[in-house]
Amino acid sequence: MSFPRYVRSRSDKQLRYKSAAHLTSDCVPEGDTADHAPIVPCGLVAWSLFNDTYTVRVNGVVTQVNKKDIAWKSDKNNKFGKNIYPSNFQKGRLIGGATLNESIPLSEQEDLIVWMRTAALPTFRKLYGRIEKDINANDNVTVVIQNNYNTYSFGGSKALVLSTASWIGGKNNFIGIAYLTIGGLCLSLAMGFLVLYMVKRRYVS
């Protein structure tokens, strides 16, 4: 299956409006259950929801991973309805990734909200949670991983990244290099146009 088809396999109106639960035509091939009842949320993006779990220990003590406020507020408030609840999710012929709590509205299921913001590149990061306890340089950090998410069938890979986030976000070398490259290119073009303008002006005068 191609990546564009995967990204399109969703219904944004269904995520936002209760009256749009039946709008599953864009969610092919994961739209209806066997009894033709609509799946909420439908589509391959939601169906493939990440379901690995992690237990973190610092110096042998289990440390809580906070999974609140990991999604963008704009997504929570504007893209996912507060009165939309999961229905028939992961109850079709094929089971994808994680399940959803049908008693919690989509606007509060932040794992889903983070996952539904699809990445543009094949290598990407998704925020799993925050460790709100200081970890010192000499601390012993142990992570027990429950490996549920199947990436082997399509030759994919997974990695766990522990990163210190500041008010401007976490470390991302690619973004920094991309900004510097584009900035340098723009500066070079600007200097080139300036030189051409000065040369042309001198020639005309």
Q: Is 24 exposed, middle or buried (0-12, 13-18, 19+ CB in 10 A)?
A: buried
pTM score: 0.77
- Is pLDDT above 80 for 35? no
Q: How far apart are CA 146 and CA 162, in angstroms?
A: 17
Tokens read off for 138: 């000499």
Those residues with Cβ within 8 angstroms of residue 23's Cβ, 6 or more apart along the chain or in another chain: 11, 13, 14
pLDDT in tens, 159-180: 998 888 665 555 666 667 888 8
pLDDT tens digits for range 134-150: 888 899 999 999 999 98
What is the three-state SS of 105-140? CHHHCHHHHHHHCCCCCCCCCCCCCECCCCCCCCCC
pLDDT of residue 196: 82
Quote the percentage of the chain above a pLDDT of 70: 90
CA dist 124 to 2, 41, 110, 150, 178, Å? 17, 23, 18, 16, 15
Q: Which helix (H) or strand (E) holds 146?
A: strand 141-146
Per-residue model confidence (pLDDT) at position 201: 63
* H or E segment and range at residue 143: strand 141-146
Q: What are the residue ranges spanned by the domains of the chain?
A: 4-51+66-132+146-167, 172-204
Q: Give the residue, 33 or 127, on which the prediction is more confident.
A: 127
What the block records as the tokens of 109 is 């299921």
